[in-house]
């Protein structure tokens, strides 16, 4: 028969309906002395991401329409398990019977109105066959995907979900990384003693991984990102994107699965974890395997997901190389017939990442500072060197300049009367790159 679960787990389940929401409904606090799943390391409060509410609605609708399985897939360290805890809270409040199967737990658990129990192996099939059971699986392959209403939260490891979710009635949706705004809200509400500037510095490296930006701050954990970059080679990138790499710890740190806006969590693309990662990796590959990097940057042109990664890797290399200084081949686009010349660039005196072209950082940094905007979507210009150089980095032949964006960038420069705009392109584009149009727009 079933044996009662550990006391801490029983208390968590018993007192879960007594959890309280903050006044603004953004933070759920468990009853005093209890922790999620009875384990202190899982914490006792969760922040309600907007996407959690969206997923709750999608899950409810799927099972109302007689669906069988619903998978929530995303990078490790973005709070997928927290969505599971939120579902457990809703189910505890409504008296729902639940079978829980979680990575790191030796037993499947039965959570019901009578309490929390370790489910005997012989009883698993019987429980999952009941029509009133919800089957919540976190990070492992489900025992029987078609026996009960299954909610699976998992990483991008296809071995856990791929075959199972080919069956009718099973759908997959994707959870996105955290935005800087979400991380800041979480810092304020759950990690208020942490300085905001430290959090932003980690975000600039890790991207939207709440685990490494707000939680795992030990030196060894933080250094694992550089370790992942150091172990990556050019041919690894193709394997990572294809999902065939065995080294998920490396790929999940340097590549992030992003959800495409307005796709209702159904479409995704891969991108580098952050511009910093792209830059560090590009410089490492340029240093260690220059020919392979050049081949990748050329060969991946227009190849969908790889094409996007190629562009950002090229951008990262350009940031690193230009800031390091040296000689670069240059052509005057206003005089196409003139021969190329060597442009000598001094190494940057310092480097900053800024929020806005009009920021105090931009106004007060010293001449020779290499400046990169934090947000790509507001950057018509990719970087600048104070006081008079703007850089537009591209892998394509056509890259019209956004007029309003260019004007904002020029206004952020300390010397505005003789600004130089350089297009930074790969070697295979250098001789054929044409003059670019100025595009009107906001």
Task: Confirm whether 188 is domain-assigned.
Answer: no
Residue 195 contacts residue 86 (beta carbons within 8 Å): no
Residue 172 contacts residue 165 (beta carbons within 8 Å): yes
Output the DSSP codes for 152-180.
Answer: EEE-S-HHHHTTGGGSTTEEEEEPPPPPH
For residues 399 and 311, state if they share a domain. Answer: no
Coil, helix or strand for 10?
helix
Minimal CA–CA distance to 72: which of 166, 169, 174? 174
Distance between CA atoms of residues 233 and 114, nearest Å: 54
Residue with tokens 């619903």: 70
Domain of 331 in residue numbering reads as: 326-439
For residues 338 and 435, state if they share a domain. Answer: yes
* Beta-carbon contacts of residue 90 (< 8 Å; ≥ 6 apart): 56, 96
For residues 24 and 154, state if they share a domain. Answer: yes
For residues 357 and 421, state if they share a domain. Answer: yes
Residue 306 contacts residue 300 (beta carbons within 8 Å): yes
Q: Write down the pLDDT at residue 36.
A: 99
Q: Write down the pLDDT at residue 38.
A: 98
Output the DSSP codes for 40-98.
Answer: GGG-SEEE--HHHHHHHHHHHHHHHTT--EEEEE--TTSSHHHHHHHHHHHHHHHT-EE
For residues 264 and 349, state if they share a domain. Answer: no
Task: Confirm whether 346 is domain-assigned.
Answer: yes
- Side by side, which strands form the sheet with 170-174? 3-4, 115-118, 109-112, 97-102, 133-138, 149-154, 69-73, 170-174
Task: Confirm whether 366 is domain-assigned.
Answer: yes
Task: Confirm whether 268 is domain-assigned.
Answer: yes
Residue 390 contacts residue 413 (beta carbons within 8 Å): yes
For residues 73 and 13, state if they share a domain. Answer: yes
The single-letter DSSP state of residue 214 is I
Helices (H), 356-417: 360-364, 403-411
Distance between CA atoms of residues 318 and 331, nearest Å: 17
Per residue of the chain (442 residues), give pLDDT as tens: 789 999 999 999 999 999 999 999 999 999 999 999 999 999 999 999 999 999 999 999 999 999 999 999 999 999 999 999 999 999 999 999 999 999 999 999 999 999 999 999 999 999 999 999 999 999 999 987 677 799 999 998 888 888 888 889 999 999 999 999 999 999 999 999 999 999 999 999 999 999 999 999 999 999 999 999 999 998 888 778 766 555 777 889 999 999 999 999 999 999 999 999 999 999 999 999 988 888 887 765 556 677 788 888 989 999 999 999 999 999 999 898 899 999 999 999 999 999 999 999 999 999 999 999 998 655 579 999 999 999 999 888 888 888 888 999 999 999 977 899 999 998 888 999 999 888 775 4
For residues 267 and 360, state if they share a domain. Answer: no
Distance between CA atoms of residues 331 and 436, nearest Å: 13
For residues 301 and 338, state if they share a domain. Answer: no
Task: Confirm whether 316 is domain-assigned.
Answer: yes
Distance between CA atoms of residues 263 and 423, nearest Å: 33
For residues 11 and 156, state if they share a domain. Answer: yes
| pTM, two decimal places | 0.90
**The domain boundary residue, chosen from 272, 294, 324:** 324
Residue with tokens 């996407």: 51
For residues 29 and 118, state if they share a domain. Answer: yes
Distance between CA atoms of residues 289 and 233, nearest Å: 8
Q: How many CB atoms lie within 10 A of CB 42?
A: 15
Task: Confirm whether 341 is domain-assigned.
Answer: yes
Task: Confirm whether 187 is domain-assigned.
Answer: no
Distance between CA atoms of residues 30 and 19, nearest Å: 4
Q: Write down the pLDDT at residue 147.
A: 76
Residue with tokens 């990572």: 240
Report the domain count for the chain: 3
For residues 162 and 284, state if they share a domain. Answer: no
Burial of 131 (0-12, 13-18, 19+ CB in 10 A): exposed
368: left (phi over 0), alpha (psi -120 to 50) or beta: left
**The domain boundary residue, chosen from 291, 324, 357:** 324
CATH of the domain at 162: 3.40.50
Residues facing residue 421 across a β-bridge:
390
Task: Confirm whether 191 is domain-assigned.
Answer: no
**The domain boundary residue, chosen from 300, 324, 348:** 324
For residues 13 and 151, state if they share a domain. Answer: yes
Residue 82 contacts residue 46 (beta carbons within 8 Å): yes
């Amino acid at each position: 028969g079933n044996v009662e679960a550990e006391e801490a787990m029983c208390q968590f389940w018993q007192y879960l309906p007594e959890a309280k929401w903050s006044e603004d409904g953004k933070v759920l606090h468990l009853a005093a002395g209890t922790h999620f799943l009875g384990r202190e390391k899982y914490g006792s409060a969760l922040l309600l991401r907007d996407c959690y509410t969206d997923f709750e609605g999608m899950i409810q609708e799927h099972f109302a329409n007689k669906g069988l399985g619903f998978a929530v897939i995303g990078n490790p360290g973005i709070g997928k398990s927290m969505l599971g805890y939120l579902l457990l809270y809703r189910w505890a409040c409504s008296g729902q019977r639940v079978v829980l199967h979680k990575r790191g737990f030796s037993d499947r658990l039965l959570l019901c109105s009578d309490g929390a129990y370790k489910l005997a192996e012989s009883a698993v099939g019987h429980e999952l066959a009941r029509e009133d059971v919800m089957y919540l699986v976190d990070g492992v392959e489900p025992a029987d995907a078609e026996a009960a209403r299954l909610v699976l939260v998992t990483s991008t490891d296809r071995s856990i979900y791929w075959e199972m979710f080919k069956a009718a009635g099973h759908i997959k949706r994707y959870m996105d990384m955290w935005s800087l705004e979400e991380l800041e809200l979480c810092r304020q509400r759950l990690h208020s003693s942490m300085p905001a500037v430290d959090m932003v510095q980690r975000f600039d490296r890790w991207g939207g991984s709440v685990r490494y930006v707000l939680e795992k701050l030990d030196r060894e954990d933080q250094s694992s990102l550089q370790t992942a970059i150091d172990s990556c080679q050019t041919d690894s990138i193709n394997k990572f994107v294809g999902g065939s790499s065995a080294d998920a710890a490396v790929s999940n740190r340097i590549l992030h699965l992003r959800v495409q806006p307005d796709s209702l969590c159904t479409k995704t693309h891969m991108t580098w974890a952050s511009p910093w990662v792209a830059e560090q990796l590009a410089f490492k590959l340029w240093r260690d395997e220059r020919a392979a990097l050049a081949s990748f940057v050329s060969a991946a042109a227009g190849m969908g997901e790889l094409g996007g990664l190629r562009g950002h890797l090229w951008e990262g290399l350009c940031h690193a190389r230009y800031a390091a200084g040296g000689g670069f081949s240059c052509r005057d686009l206003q005089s196409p017939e003139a021969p190329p010349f060597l442009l000598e660039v001094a190494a940057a005196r310092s480097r900053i990442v800024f929020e806005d072209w009009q920021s105090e950082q931009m106004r007060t940094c010293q001449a020779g500072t290499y400046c990169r905007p934090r947000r790509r979507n507001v950057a018509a210009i990719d970087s600048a060197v104070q006081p008079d150089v703007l850089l537009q980095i591209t892998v394509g032949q056509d890259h019209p300049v956004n007029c309003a964006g260019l004007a904002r960038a020029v206004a952020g420069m300390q010397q505005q009367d003789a600004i130089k705009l350089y297009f930074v392109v790969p070697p295979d584009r250098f001789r054929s790159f044409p003059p670019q149009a100025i595009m009107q727009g906001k």
